[in-house]
Amino acid sequence: MIYVRNFTDIDDKIIKRANEEGVDYKTIAERYIGEFNTDMGRLGLEKPTIEPKATDHIAEMIRLISTLIEKGYAYQAEGNVFFSVENLGAMENFRREN
């Protein structure tokens, strides 16, 4: 079995904290990832096989989001992308296609 646990290593909160501390966002992300892993270890939880970070997969996320928009499963509004609730049932077909 492959156990995957991903990390969102960049977002508005991480960027804000990095700016407040005058450090790179990676410094903040690595700190929190390290603290999280320490906590999980103290709880005796198994380490994942793979721990991908969001920043390592930006291109793939952009392609996926673009495809969702093109197929009508998502839409852009005010600089954000949202799932189209009208097409939630049709998402089953998208999952099978991709």
pLDDT at 17 over 70: yes
pTM, entire model: 0.71
Segment 35-64, tens digit of pLDDT: 999 999 999 999 999 999 999 999 999 999
What DSSP string describes 71-84? TTSEEEETTEEEE-
The DSSP bridge partners found for residue 42 are none
pLDDT average, residue stretch 76-89: 85
Q: What is the mean pLDDT of the chain?
A: 91
Residue in the block written with tokens 């097409």: 87
